[in-house]
Amino acid sequence: EAGVAQSPRYKIIEKRQSVAFWCNPISGHATLYWYQQILGQGPKLLIQFQNNGVVDDSQLPKDRFSAERLKGVDSTLKIQPAKLEDSAVYLCASSLNSPAGQPQHFGDGTRLSIL
Q: How far is the CB of 36 from other proteins (least distance, A)?
A: 11
Query: SS3 string of 58-91?
Result: CCCCCCCEEEECCCCCCEEEEECCCCHHHCEEEE
Judged by CB, which is closer to other proteins: 55, or 115? 55
Sole window of 17-25, 38-46, 65-73, 77-85 interacting with other proteins (rule: CB under 8 A): 38-46
Cα radius of gyration rounded to whole Å, the chain: 13
DSSP state of 108: -
Q: Does 43 bind other proteins (CB under 8 A)?
A: yes
**Cα 28 vs. chain centroid, distance in angstroms?**
18
Q: Which of 1, 53, 63, 101 binds other proteins (CB under 8 A)?
A: 101
Q: Does 36 bind other proteins (CB under 8 A)?
A: no
Residue type, 37: Q
Give strand pairing partners of 7. Answer: 22
Sole window of 18-26, 63-71, 73-81, 99-107 interacting with other proteins (rule: CB under 8 A): 99-107
For other proteins, the binding residues (CB under 8 A) are 31, 33, 40-45, 48, 55-56, 91, 95, 97-104, 106-109
